[in-house]
Structure 1
Amino acid sequence: METVAVIDFETTGLSPAMGDRATEVAVVIVADGKIVDRYQSLMNTGTRIPAFIEALTGISNTMISKAPPASEVMRALAEFVRDIPLVAHNASFDSKFLDAEWLRINQRRRQEFACSMLLARRIYPSAPNHKLGTLVRHLGLPSAARHHRALADAEMTAHLWVQMVSDIQQQYGLNTVPHEFLLALQKAPKTQMTSCVERAKCRLGL
């Protein structure tokens, strides 16, 4: 199984374009189907956390006031992740915050994100919904005591990712499941999965 970096952000809101900032980031490295390394930190951006976000995550303004500056955290994150392929649940959210925070320190992302939510919609169509917690319960995977903290959610996503890659490998008779194949699969129309898989297999020589 290809090595990936599974990332999760907690933030002050939904969009960096609207001035929202990250409050916490965590990454777990998954290699050979196991979590082999972790990085987690709160981060101080000087932005106040709304009360409803504090209630959701448990991250308070007092906690953030004692956290390292965002620039320091994001540099450490860049060194930790390097060029390892990235994974997130609802990657469109996490990628926006990663790109916005890295841009502030003149760091640019070179690798593409795979999205465990998009893939789950295609390979687990019978799941009640495709939220992270629901999928973890549906598949009987290890669950964190508290959701909406970056490391807990990154670890749950990592367990989900390992299960999905294994299921994809078995379902489509693959010896290996490259990141490129998963990037193609997550974009495939749900009604055309078989043909899209065959094209991707052919293109990648699988």
Structure 2
Amino acid sequence: MQTIAVIDFETTGLGPGAGGRATEIAAVLVRGGEIVGSYQSLMNSGVWVPPFIEQLTGISNAMLAQAPDSARVMREVAEFTRGCPLVAHNASFDRGFWFHELERAGCERDSAHEFACTVLLARRLYPEAPNCKLGTLAQFHALPDMGRAHRALADAQTTAHLLLRMQADLAQRFARELGPLRVEHALLARLQRAAKTALQRCVSDYARPQLAARSSALAAN
């Protein structure tokens, strides 16, 4: 059974290319329709947190002064998510920091660490939602309240609940096409790139060879 890691960063800026660094990371593990584990840590990158970021996140320079070194944190979270494909809300943001901070920590890339994005998926699955902000989608689906937004663990937990909702909705909506197959990361990665009008075809193209292989295996036995 596949385990997916949902990650979220808090940072000092919009991207590592503009000098932004991570100040906090969380990873939440999802398997078999439930949350099965989590990791969270502040991380001291040796950078200054601007006042507006401190106000937004509640993460202060004093807090980071007492936090573990960012390289140590990234090594820990890389081990925690080893072998897991990744999901994030607005994944292009988190992907940039993920690979940048891993490289700075001297960690080798895990080939399993491919990203799926719940923003891209929400645009295709929930066009009736007011927008695709995490807080809006949480209210739209009446997801559990995980606490203060713009803290890594709360946002990762909310995203994990959104992922579970998406998996359940996809399984129900495309039950005929999927049959006994689970909604796994590979399908999410395909759907996030599909046209809104081509979701059924995308699911069918994904499921058909897997169902055929399963039938052949059963026939061989």
Query: Do the structures match in fold with TM over 0.5?
Result: yes
CA distance in 2, matches of 1:193, 1:82: 30
CA distance in 2, matches of 1:155, 1:125: 23
Quote the residue 2:130 is aligned against.
Answer: 128
**Segments of 4+ moved more than 6 angstroms:** none
Superposition deviation, residue 204 in structure 1: 4.1
1:151 to 2:153 alignment: yes
1:97 to 2:103 alignment: no
CA distance in 1, matches of 2:79, 2:131: 35
Superposition deviation, residue 203 in structure 1: 4.5
**Is the 2:39–2:80 Cα contact (8 Å) retained in structure 1?**
yes
**Is the 1:87–1:115 Cα contact (8 Å) retained in structure 2?**
yes
Deviation readout 1:116-143 (Å, 9 max, x if unpaired): 1111111111000011110010001102
Q: List gaps (5 residues or longer) in structure 1.
A: none
Quote the residue 1:19 is aligned against.
Answer: 19
- The letter of the residue matching 1:67 is A
**Is the 1:181–1:204 Cα contact (8 Å) retained in structure 2?**
no
Deviation readout 1:153-200 (Å, 9 max, x if unpaired): 000001111011000011011231121111101100123223223222
Quote the residue 1:10 is aligned against.
Answer: 10
Quote the residue 1:160 is aligned against.
Answer: 162
Q: List gaps (5 residues or longer) in structure 2.
A: 213-221
Quote the residue 1:181 is aligned against.
Answer: 187
Quote the residue 1:29 is aligned against.
Answer: 29
Superposition deviation, residue 145 in structure 1: 2.6
CA distance in 2, matches of 1:182, 1:203: 17
CA distance in 2, matches of 1:194, 1:200: 10
Matches within 5 A, 1:183-198: 183-198=189-204
CA distance in 1, matches of 2:117, 2:95: 10
Deviation readout 1:48-103 (Å, 9 max, x if unpaired): 01111001000000001110100110111111111111111111111110000001
Q: CA RMSD in A?
A: 1.4
**How does the TM-score come out when normalised to structure 2?**
0.89
CA distance in 2, matches of 1:87, 1:41: 18
CA distance in 1, matches of 2:149, 2:39: 17
**Is the 2:82–2:110 Cα contact (8 Å) retained in structure 1?**
no
Higher radius of gyration, 1 or 2: 2
Quote the residue 1:201 is aligned against.
Answer: 207
Q: Percent identity?
A: 54
CA distance in 2, matches of 1:194, 1:34: 25
Count of aligned positions: 206
**How does the TM-score come out when normalised to structure 1?**
0.95
SS of 1:141's equivalent in the other structure is coil
CA distance in 1, matches of 2:201, 2:118: 21
